């Protein structure tokens, strides 16, 4: 079941087309990657979801109902540009922000202290924001985003400024939130995090959606039928053995194992490639090279720019 849906959303600022007929569908209790180059339109769509601005045309839905400003309490939004009051005490500010999302002071204080203890920042409760490092400020803002247990969470570059240990802590908490029932829209340029976290992605370029689907399926779509093969022994007349059906991308020989990178060109099967090599060499490993999300991102955007 879809928790959130955008249908044919268009938005123009002055003479700039920010979004062109963009539709996305986010399943309940999933992590959805909203990807694209700078200026592609991602932030505009996020602002529309948060009712900060309105689409020129198109509609957005939450739980099958057209969204209104009253639905904001069901959303938690962590923007890329953080915004805490630097002179205000951290605990007081966190309670205030939780109350803006509809929590009582008592419930806000109770839930916030649980989160502060989990993130090991309870000793900073009565400190001012300006006394915290950037990373600790971001922990506080993450907590204030999730504390009211919203149905939909939107994270825009959530790992920005975090060291690897704290970035890993945040990833674990994002996965925990999903396991507990949250639905997450996740926008980032860190494609490694997309592979780790996202069930589904949509890629926007120049205001238009150019890819949309399960993360694994999108990666498979961009595969190039290239294989990494490790073998033992001499492989003489390799070009003759493989013929014109295969392209040798690289061939490295060493004492322990030889490595061959091959792309098949004419619709041949994996078994046929293995059959061509086995009479000449002992195969130690045979792996199809599936492109990373970083490779997919670059290729999809480059192809889109040509059109």
Neighbours of 206 (CB within 10 A): 16
Whether the per-residue pLDDT at 238 is higher than 70: the answer is no
* Residues, the chain: 307
Sign of the C-alpha dihedral computed for residues 216, 222, 226 and 230 taken in this order? negative
Domains and CATH numbers, the chain: 2-220 (3.40.50.300), 224-288 (3.30.70)
Tell me the pLDDT band of 252, cut-offs 50, 70 and 90.
confident
SS3 category, 130: helix
Q: Are 170 and 145 in contact (CB under 8 A)?
A: no
> Mean per-residue pLDDT for 201-219?
97
Q: Are 233 and 304 in contact (CB under 8 A)?
A: no
Whether the per-residue pLDDT at 230 is higher than 80: the answer is yes
Q: Find tokens 């039928």 and name the residue.
A: 225
Model pTM score = 0.89
Q: Are 172 and 141 in contact (CB under 8 A)?
A: no
Whether the per-residue pLDDT at 76 is higher than 90: the answer is yes
pLDDT digits (tens, 9 = 90+) for 112-150: 999 999 999 999 999 998 898 888 888 999 999 999 999
Q: Find tokens 């890329």 and name the residue.
A: 80
pLDDT score at 235: 66
Which residues make beta-bridge pairs with 183? 152
Enumerate the H helices of 198-280 as residue ranges: 215-221, 238-242, 270-277
Tell me the pLDDT band of 156, cut-offs 50, 70 and 90.
very high
Whether the per-residue pLDDT at 267 is higher than 70: the answer is no
Q: Is 250 exposed, middle or buried (0-12, 13-18, 19+ CB in 10 A)?
A: exposed
Rounded to 10 deg, the angle between the 164-179 and 134-146 helix axes is 0
What Å distances lie between residue 43 and 21, 225, 271, CA to CA? Answer: 15, 35, 46
Residue among 218, 301, 213, 299 nearest 37 (CA): 301
Q: Are 197 and 174 in contact (CB under 8 A)?
A: yes
């Amino acid at each position: 079941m879809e928790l959130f849906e955008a249908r044919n959303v268009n938005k123009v600022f002055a003479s700039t087309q920010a979004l062109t007929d963009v539709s996305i569908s986010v399943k309940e209790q999933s992590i959805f990657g909203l990807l694209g180059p700078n200026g592609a339109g991602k932030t505009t769509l996020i602002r529309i979801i948060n009712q900060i601005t309105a689409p020129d045309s198109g509609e957005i839905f939450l739980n099958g109902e057209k969204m209104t400003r009253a639905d904001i309490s069901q959303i938690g939004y962590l923007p890329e540009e953080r915004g805490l009051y630097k002179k205000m005490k951290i605990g007081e500010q966190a309670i205030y922000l939780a109350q803006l999302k509809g929590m009582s002071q008592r419930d806000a204080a109770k839930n916030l202290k649980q989160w502060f203890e989990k993130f090991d920042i309870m000793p900073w409760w009565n400190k001012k924001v300006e006394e915290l490092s950037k990373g600790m400020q971001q922990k506080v803002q993450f907590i204030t985003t999730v504390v009211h247990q919203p149905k939909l969470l939107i994270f825009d570059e959530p790992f920005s400024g975090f060291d690897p240990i704290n970035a890993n802590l945040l990833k674990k908490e994002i996965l925990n939130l999903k396991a507990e029932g949250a639905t997450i829209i996740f926008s980032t340029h860190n494609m490694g995090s997309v592979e780790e976290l996202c069930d589904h992605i949509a890629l926007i370029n120049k205001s238009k959606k150019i890819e949309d689907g399960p993360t694994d399926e999108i990666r498979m779509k961009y595969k190039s039928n290239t294989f990494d093969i490790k073998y033992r022994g001499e492989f003489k007349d390799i070009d003759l053995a493989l013929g014109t059906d295969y392209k040798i991308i690289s061939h490295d020989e060493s004492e322990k194992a030889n490595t061959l990178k091959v792309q098949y060109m004419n619709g041949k099967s994996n078994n046929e490639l293995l059959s061509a090599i086995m009479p000449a060499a002992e195969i130690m490993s045979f792996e199809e090279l599936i492109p990373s999300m970083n490779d997919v991102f670059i290729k999809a955007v480059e192809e889109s720019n040509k059109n």
